[in-house]
Amino acid sequence: MSSPITASFRWSKNEFLRAQRLAVRHSREGRLLYRFMMAIGVLILLSGVVSFYQHGIGWPGFLFTVLFSALFFSMPLFARRTALKLYAQKPDRDMEVTWDISEDGIRSKTPLAASENTWAFFQKVLRAREGFLLYPNGRIFHWLPTHAFRDAGDVERFAELAKSKVREYAEVV
């Protein structure tokens, strides 16, 4: 058996936002919602332009249409604000998170809590350039950033271990 892998990082606001952004970007529901909001924004904007030229709705009506479509284009900003509110409610915010990874499972600990899980607990691992999302189910994930590892060798060892232990392993760009 190879030696355990240890990874450690501070659970900061930026880490939380990065993990949320990656989870949404690489989830089916997140991509569909984003595309839907953008399409609605474009349709509203186009209908305003057409109404302006064909029916002469005037500048106030056109300005209202532009502002209304901007609401749909700004949904990522609202999502960021919501994520920051969630982060502010987390009891482990701004704390050091330490992961100990072995063939048998994964242990994580903060000054507030510790958990130990076998690999069977995780259904999916998603590897991105910035780190790994570990999913116990389709909606909940744990974040393990690449910079938390001691070196690139540990990152690759974790990736190989995760590939061999979880049902679904995916790499994204």
What's the CATH code of the domain at 148? 2.30.29
Rounded to whole angstroms, the Cα distance separating 151 from 7 reads: 10
Q: With a cut of 90, say whether residue 147 has pLDDT above it.
A: yes
pLDDT of residue 1: 47
Rounded to whole angstroms, the Cα distance separating 11 from 93 reads: 6
pLDDT tens digits, 122-143: 999 999 999 999 999 988 999 9
- Among residues 88, 107, 126, which one ends one of the domains? 88
166 and 99 in a common domain: yes
Helix (H) / strand (E) containing 162: helix 152-165
Sheet containing 168-171, strands listed edge to edge, beginning at the edge strand earlier in sequence: 142-145, 131-135, 124-127, 168-171
54 and 109 in a common domain: no
Q: Which residues pair with 83 in a beta bridge?
A: none
Q: Which residues pair with 116 in a beta bridge?
A: 107
In 3D space, the residue among 6, 7, 17, 11 whose CA is nearest the CA of residue 95 turns out to be 11
For residue 17, tell me if it sits in a domain.
no
Number of domains observed in the structure of the chain: 2
pLDDT of residue 48: 78
115 and 56 in a common domain: no
